[in-house]
Structure 1
Amino acid sequence: MAGDFKLIPREGSWLGTGFYLFYRAPGRAAEWAGRVTQRRSRGTPGITAAVIECEVDLANTINLLDSADGHWDALKRLAANTMSTPRQLGPQAMVADPSNPKLYRNVDDNDLVNAYVQILRRQRPVASIMAAFIEGTPVFSTSWLYDHSHLCISVLEKDAIRKRKLIVP
Protein backbone atom coordinates (compact mmCIF):
# COMPACT_ATOMS: atom_id res chain seq x y z
CA MET A 1 0.00 0.00 0.00
CA ALA A 2 1.42 3.35 -0.99
CA GLY A 3 1.89 6.13 1.54
CA ASP A 4 2.19 6.06 5.27
CA PHE A 5 0.07 6.88 8.29
CA LYS A 6 0.29 10.44 9.51
CA LEU A 7 -0.53 11.36 13.07
CA ILE A 8 -1.88 14.84 12.51
CA PRO A 9 -3.16 16.86 15.46
CA ARG A 10 -6.81 17.78 14.86
CA GLU A 11 -8.64 20.05 17.20
CA GLY A 12 -11.71 18.37 18.61
CA SER A 13 -10.82 14.68 18.38
CA TRP A 14 -12.24 12.54 21.20
CA LEU A 15 -9.09 10.59 21.91
CA GLY A 16 -6.53 13.28 21.13
CA THR A 17 -3.94 13.11 18.37
CA GLY A 18 -3.87 9.74 16.66
CA PHE A 19 -4.83 7.59 13.69
CA TYR A 20 -8.42 6.55 14.40
CA LEU A 21 -9.68 3.05 13.65
CA PHE A 22 -13.13 1.49 14.02
CA TYR A 23 -12.79 -1.88 15.76
CA ARG A 24 -14.17 -4.66 13.53
CA ALA A 25 -16.61 -2.30 11.81
CA PRO A 26 -15.64 -1.92 8.13
CA GLY A 27 -19.15 -0.71 7.26
CA ARG A 28 -18.97 2.10 9.82
CA ALA A 29 -15.44 2.92 8.64
CA ALA A 30 -16.70 3.15 5.04
CA GLU A 31 -19.58 5.43 6.09
CA TRP A 32 -17.19 7.69 7.99
CA ALA A 33 -14.64 7.73 5.17
CA GLY A 34 -17.39 8.69 2.72
CA ARG A 35 -18.59 11.58 4.90
CA VAL A 36 -15.07 12.87 5.48
CA THR A 37 -14.21 12.57 1.80
CA GLN A 38 -17.35 14.46 0.83
CA ARG A 39 -16.55 17.23 3.32
CA ARG A 40 -12.87 17.49 2.35
CA SER A 41 -13.38 17.20 -1.41
CA ARG A 42 -14.90 20.68 -1.42
CA GLY A 43 -11.43 22.10 -0.74
CA THR A 44 -9.38 19.29 -2.29
CA PRO A 45 -11.03 17.88 -5.42
CA GLY A 46 -10.12 14.36 -6.51
CA ILE A 47 -9.72 12.68 -3.13
CA THR A 48 -11.48 9.35 -2.63
CA ALA A 49 -12.67 7.38 0.38
CA ALA A 50 -10.69 4.39 1.59
CA VAL A 51 -10.94 1.85 4.39
CA ILE A 52 -7.80 0.30 5.81
CA GLU A 53 -7.93 -3.01 7.65
CA CYS A 54 -5.21 -3.15 10.30
CA GLU A 55 -3.81 -5.48 12.91
CA VAL A 56 -2.93 -3.42 15.99
CA ASP A 57 -0.68 -4.44 18.87
CA LEU A 58 -2.62 -3.44 21.99
CA ALA A 59 0.19 -4.16 24.48
CA ASN A 60 0.72 -0.48 25.36
CA THR A 61 -2.90 0.65 25.16
CA ILE A 62 -4.80 2.97 27.45
CA ASN A 63 -7.89 0.79 27.72
CA LEU A 64 -10.87 3.00 28.61
CA LEU A 65 -13.19 -0.03 28.42
CA ASP A 66 -12.04 -1.23 31.85
CA SER A 67 -11.75 0.53 35.19
CA ALA A 68 -8.99 -1.74 36.56
CA ASP A 69 -6.08 0.43 35.38
CA GLY A 70 -7.35 3.59 37.07
CA HIS A 71 -7.43 5.63 33.85
CA TRP A 72 -10.94 6.98 34.49
CA ASP A 73 -10.06 8.23 37.97
CA ALA A 74 -6.86 9.82 36.66
CA LEU A 75 -8.71 11.52 33.80
CA LYS A 76 -11.35 12.85 36.21
CA ARG A 77 -8.67 14.25 38.54
CA LEU A 78 -6.82 15.85 35.64
CA ALA A 79 -10.04 17.39 34.30
CA ALA A 80 -10.98 18.74 37.74
CA ASN A 81 -7.55 20.37 38.10
CA THR A 82 -7.21 21.81 34.60
CA MET A 83 -10.62 22.56 33.07
CA SER A 84 -12.77 25.53 33.95
CA THR A 85 -15.32 26.55 31.32
CA PRO A 86 -16.44 23.78 28.94
CA ARG A 87 -15.86 24.53 25.25
CA GLN A 88 -17.71 21.53 23.83
CA LEU A 89 -21.24 20.21 23.76
CA GLY A 90 -22.15 17.14 25.80
CA PRO A 91 -23.92 13.95 24.66
CA GLN A 92 -27.37 15.42 25.33
CA ALA A 93 -26.83 17.63 22.26
CA MET A 94 -26.98 14.55 19.99
CA VAL A 95 -30.70 14.30 20.65
CA ALA A 96 -31.47 17.97 21.32
CA ASP A 97 -29.94 19.28 18.08
CA PRO A 98 -28.21 16.60 15.96
CA SER A 99 -27.55 19.13 13.16
CA ASN A 100 -25.47 21.45 15.36
CA PRO A 101 -22.09 21.85 13.58
CA LYS A 102 -20.30 22.05 16.94
CA LEU A 103 -21.68 18.70 18.09
CA TYR A 104 -18.59 16.56 17.55
CA ARG A 105 -15.96 19.24 18.14
CA ASN A 106 -14.62 17.70 21.34
CA VAL A 107 -11.85 20.20 22.06
CA ASP A 108 -11.89 19.61 25.83
CA ASP A 109 -11.70 15.81 25.46
CA ASN A 110 -8.90 16.26 22.91
CA ASP A 111 -6.81 18.47 25.21
CA LEU A 112 -7.47 16.29 28.26
CA VAL A 113 -6.45 13.05 26.54
CA ASN A 114 -3.34 14.61 24.96
CA ALA A 115 -2.26 15.91 28.41
CA TYR A 116 -2.96 12.53 30.03
CA VAL A 117 -0.91 10.70 27.41
CA GLN A 118 2.03 13.06 28.04
CA ILE A 119 1.82 12.43 31.80
CA LEU A 120 1.46 8.67 31.42
CA ARG A 121 4.39 8.44 28.98
CA ARG A 122 6.70 9.58 31.79
CA GLN A 123 5.93 6.23 33.45
CA ARG A 124 5.41 3.82 30.56
CA PRO A 125 5.02 3.59 26.77
CA VAL A 126 1.63 4.50 25.31
CA ALA A 127 0.99 3.35 21.73
CA SER A 128 -2.81 3.55 21.49
CA ILE A 129 -6.04 4.37 23.27
CA MET A 130 -9.24 2.33 23.13
CA ALA A 131 -12.72 3.62 24.04
CA ALA A 132 -16.40 3.14 23.24
CA PHE A 133 -18.56 5.93 21.85
CA ILE A 134 -22.29 6.54 21.74
CA GLU A 135 -23.05 8.14 18.42
CA GLY A 136 -26.01 8.52 16.09
CA THR A 137 -29.64 8.30 17.13
CA PRO A 138 -31.36 6.03 19.66
CA VAL A 139 -33.38 3.11 18.29
CA PHE A 140 -36.38 4.42 20.29
CA SER A 141 -36.89 7.51 22.45
CA THR A 142 -35.55 6.15 25.76
CA SER A 143 -33.05 3.66 24.36
CA TRP A 144 -29.35 3.64 25.19
CA LEU A 145 -28.71 1.79 21.90
CA TYR A 146 -27.48 4.32 19.33
CA ASP A 147 -27.23 3.33 15.69
CA HIS A 148 -23.68 4.56 15.09
CA SER A 149 -22.04 3.60 18.39
CA HIS A 150 -18.64 2.03 18.04
CA LEU A 151 -15.42 0.92 19.63
CA CYS A 152 -12.57 3.15 18.55
CA ILE A 153 -8.81 2.68 18.72
CA SER A 154 -6.61 5.73 18.33
CA VAL A 155 -3.12 4.65 17.31
CA LEU A 156 -0.45 7.00 18.66
CA GLU A 157 2.65 5.10 17.52
CA LYS A 158 3.03 3.79 13.98
CA ASP A 159 4.85 0.70 15.27
CA ALA A 160 1.62 -0.47 16.95
CA ILE A 161 0.20 -1.20 13.47
CA ARG A 162 1.46 -4.66 12.52
CA LYS A 163 -0.38 -5.36 9.28
CA ARG A 164 -2.55 -3.29 7.01
CA LYS A 165 -4.39 -3.64 3.75
CA LEU A 166 -6.60 -1.39 1.68
CA ILE A 167 -10.26 -2.32 1.33
CA VAL A 168 -12.30 -0.59 -1.35
CA PRO A 169 -15.53 0.75 0.17
Structure 2
Amino acid sequence: MEQIYRIRNLKKFEGKSLRKIADITGHDFETVKKYVQKANFNVEVRPKQVRTGKLSPYRDLVVKWLTDDEKAPHKQRHTAKRVYDRLREIYPDEFDVSERSVRSFVAKLKKELKMDTNGSLPLAHPPGEAQVDFSKARFIENGITYDGHYLNISYPHSNGGHTQLFKSENQVCR
Protein backbone atom coordinates (compact mmCIF):
# COMPACT_ATOMS: atom_id res chain seq x y z
CA MET A 1 0.00 0.00 0.00
CA GLU A 2 2.93 2.33 0.71
CA GLN A 3 4.16 1.87 -2.87
CA ILE A 4 0.76 2.87 -4.21
CA TYR A 5 0.86 6.05 -2.11
CA ARG A 6 4.42 6.78 -3.29
CA ILE A 7 3.44 6.34 -6.95
CA ARG A 8 0.40 8.58 -6.55
CA ASN A 9 2.42 11.25 -4.71
CA LEU A 10 5.12 11.23 -7.38
CA LYS A 11 2.46 11.91 -10.02
CA LYS A 12 0.26 14.32 -8.10
CA PHE A 13 2.70 16.45 -6.11
CA GLU A 14 6.00 16.13 -8.00
CA GLY A 15 4.41 16.05 -11.48
CA LYS A 16 6.53 13.14 -12.73
CA SER A 17 5.51 11.29 -15.88
CA LEU A 18 4.30 7.71 -15.74
CA ARG A 19 7.48 6.47 -17.51
CA LYS A 20 9.70 8.33 -15.04
CA ILE A 21 7.73 6.89 -12.07
CA ALA A 22 8.10 3.40 -13.55
CA ASP A 23 11.89 3.93 -13.76
CA ILE A 24 12.11 5.29 -10.20
CA THR A 25 9.98 2.59 -8.55
CA GLY A 26 10.96 -0.34 -10.75
CA HIS A 27 7.34 -1.21 -11.48
CA ASP A 28 5.92 -1.93 -14.91
CA PHE A 29 4.46 1.01 -16.81
CA GLU A 30 0.96 -0.57 -16.86
CA THR A 31 1.07 -1.10 -13.08
CA VAL A 32 2.04 2.53 -12.49
CA LYS A 33 -0.73 3.67 -14.85
CA LYS A 34 -3.29 1.52 -12.98
CA TYR A 35 -2.23 2.87 -9.57
CA VAL A 36 -2.41 6.48 -10.74
CA GLN A 37 -5.79 6.17 -12.47
CA LYS A 38 -7.63 3.91 -10.05
CA ALA A 39 -9.36 5.62 -7.12
CA ASN A 40 -10.87 2.63 -5.32
CA PHE A 41 -8.68 -0.43 -4.72
CA ASN A 42 -11.30 -2.45 -2.85
CA VAL A 43 -12.46 -5.66 -4.47
CA GLU A 44 -16.07 -5.30 -5.49
CA VAL A 45 -18.19 -8.27 -4.57
CA ARG A 46 -21.11 -8.78 -6.85
CA PRO A 47 -24.34 -9.85 -5.19
CA LYS A 48 -25.26 -13.44 -5.81
CA GLN A 49 -27.78 -13.89 -8.58
CA VAL A 50 -31.18 -15.06 -7.51
CA ARG A 51 -32.57 -17.17 -10.29
CA THR A 52 -36.16 -18.17 -10.52
CA GLY A 53 -36.59 -21.53 -12.11
CA LYS A 54 -39.42 -23.05 -14.05
CA LEU A 55 -40.73 -24.70 -10.87
CA SER A 56 -40.96 -21.54 -8.75
CA PRO A 57 -44.65 -20.90 -9.69
CA TYR A 58 -45.52 -24.34 -8.31
CA ARG A 59 -43.44 -24.06 -5.13
CA ASP A 60 -46.28 -23.17 -2.77
CA LEU A 61 -48.44 -26.03 -4.02
CA VAL A 62 -45.64 -28.59 -3.68
CA VAL A 63 -44.74 -27.30 -0.20
CA LYS A 64 -48.39 -27.69 0.83
CA TRP A 65 -48.42 -31.29 -0.43
CA LEU A 66 -45.19 -32.11 1.40
CA THR A 67 -46.32 -30.56 4.69
CA ASP A 68 -49.65 -32.39 4.49
CA ASP A 69 -47.70 -35.61 3.92
CA GLU A 70 -46.22 -35.41 7.40
CA LYS A 71 -49.63 -36.42 8.80
CA ALA A 72 -50.11 -39.21 6.26
CA PRO A 73 -48.82 -42.76 6.63
CA HIS A 74 -45.32 -43.33 5.29
CA LYS A 75 -46.38 -45.31 2.23
CA GLN A 76 -48.96 -42.69 1.20
CA ARG A 77 -46.62 -39.71 1.06
CA HIS A 78 -45.68 -37.88 -2.13
CA THR A 79 -42.60 -39.08 -3.94
CA ALA A 80 -40.89 -36.89 -6.49
CA LYS A 81 -42.42 -39.03 -9.25
CA ARG A 82 -45.91 -38.53 -7.79
CA VAL A 83 -45.34 -34.75 -7.54
CA TYR A 84 -44.25 -34.71 -11.19
CA ASP A 85 -47.31 -36.72 -12.29
CA ARG A 86 -49.74 -34.56 -10.31
CA LEU A 87 -48.29 -31.33 -11.69
CA ARG A 88 -48.63 -32.70 -15.22
CA GLU A 89 -52.26 -33.68 -14.49
CA ILE A 90 -53.17 -30.27 -13.01
CA TYR A 91 -51.28 -28.14 -15.55
CA PRO A 92 -51.22 -30.20 -18.79
CA ASP A 93 -50.55 -27.31 -21.19
CA GLU A 94 -48.17 -25.06 -19.27
CA PHE A 95 -46.05 -27.57 -17.32
CA ASP A 96 -42.90 -28.24 -19.37
CA VAL A 97 -40.34 -29.35 -16.77
CA SER A 98 -38.36 -32.58 -16.82
CA GLU A 99 -38.86 -35.25 -14.18
CA ARG A 100 -35.20 -34.94 -13.15
CA SER A 101 -35.70 -31.24 -12.37
CA VAL A 102 -38.75 -32.05 -10.28
CA ARG A 103 -36.75 -34.70 -8.39
CA SER A 104 -34.03 -32.17 -7.52
CA PHE A 105 -36.63 -29.56 -6.59
CA VAL A 106 -38.53 -31.94 -4.28
CA ALA A 107 -35.30 -33.13 -2.64
CA LYS A 108 -34.30 -29.53 -1.94
CA LEU A 109 -37.75 -28.70 -0.54
CA LYS A 110 -37.76 -31.77 1.70
CA LYS A 111 -34.37 -30.75 3.05
CA GLU A 112 -35.63 -27.21 3.73
CA LEU A 113 -38.79 -28.47 5.45
CA LYS A 114 -36.88 -30.61 7.92
CA MET A 115 -36.76 -28.28 10.88
CA ASP A 116 -34.48 -30.16 13.28
CA THR A 117 -32.13 -32.71 11.82
CA ASN A 118 -30.37 -33.22 15.13
CA GLY A 119 -31.40 -36.67 16.35
CA SER A 120 -30.24 -36.25 19.91
CA LEU A 121 -32.03 -35.14 23.04
CA PRO A 122 -30.45 -33.04 25.74
CA LEU A 123 -29.53 -34.97 28.87
CA ALA A 124 -31.41 -33.76 31.93
CA HIS A 125 -30.37 -34.94 35.36
CA PRO A 126 -32.83 -33.50 37.85
CA PRO A 127 -31.88 -33.67 41.53
CA GLY A 128 -33.15 -36.71 43.43
CA GLU A 129 -33.19 -39.15 40.52
CA ALA A 130 -30.97 -42.22 40.55
CA GLN A 131 -29.78 -44.89 38.15
CA VAL A 132 -29.50 -48.47 39.40
CA ASP A 133 -27.41 -51.30 37.96
CA PHE A 134 -27.08 -54.88 39.24
CA SER A 135 -24.26 -56.92 37.73
CA LYS A 136 -21.55 -59.55 38.31
CA ALA A 137 -18.03 -58.83 39.55
CA ARG A 138 -14.99 -60.52 41.02
CA PHE A 139 -13.95 -59.09 44.40
CA ILE A 140 -11.53 -59.93 47.19
CA GLU A 141 -12.54 -60.17 50.87
CA ASN A 142 -9.85 -60.96 53.48
CA GLY A 143 -7.56 -62.39 50.78
CA ILE A 144 -10.25 -64.70 49.33
CA THR A 145 -11.47 -64.06 45.76
CA TYR A 146 -15.23 -64.29 45.23
CA ASP A 147 -17.32 -64.25 42.08
CA GLY A 148 -20.22 -62.19 43.29
CA HIS A 149 -22.68 -59.49 42.42
CA TYR A 150 -22.94 -55.82 43.10
CA LEU A 151 -25.65 -53.19 43.20
CA ASN A 152 -24.56 -49.76 42.02
CA ILE A 153 -26.72 -46.68 42.61
CA SER A 154 -25.51 -43.48 40.93
CA TYR A 155 -26.89 -39.97 41.16
CA PRO A 156 -26.09 -38.17 37.86
CA HIS A 157 -27.03 -34.72 39.16
CA SER A 158 -24.38 -34.72 41.88
CA ASN A 159 -22.17 -37.35 40.24
CA GLY A 160 -22.20 -39.37 43.44
CA GLY A 161 -23.05 -42.99 44.03
CA HIS A 162 -23.14 -46.04 46.32
CA THR A 163 -22.09 -49.65 45.70
CA GLN A 164 -23.13 -52.75 47.68
CA LEU A 165 -21.46 -56.15 47.18
CA PHE A 166 -23.31 -59.47 47.48
CA LYS A 167 -21.83 -62.97 47.52
CA SER A 168 -24.83 -64.46 45.76
CA GLU A 169 -27.82 -63.45 43.67
CA ASN A 170 -31.19 -64.19 45.26
CA GLN A 171 -34.52 -62.52 46.00
CA VAL A 172 -33.10 -60.75 49.04
CA CYS A 173 -30.54 -58.96 46.85
CA ARG A 174 -33.12 -57.61 44.45
Larger Cα Rg: Structure 1 or Structure 2? 2
Task: Answer whether TM exceeds 0.5 for this pair.
Answer: no
Q: TM-score range, shorter-chain basis?
A: under 0.3
Q: TM-score, normalised by structure 2?
A: 0.21
Q: TM-score, normalised by structure 1?
A: 0.21
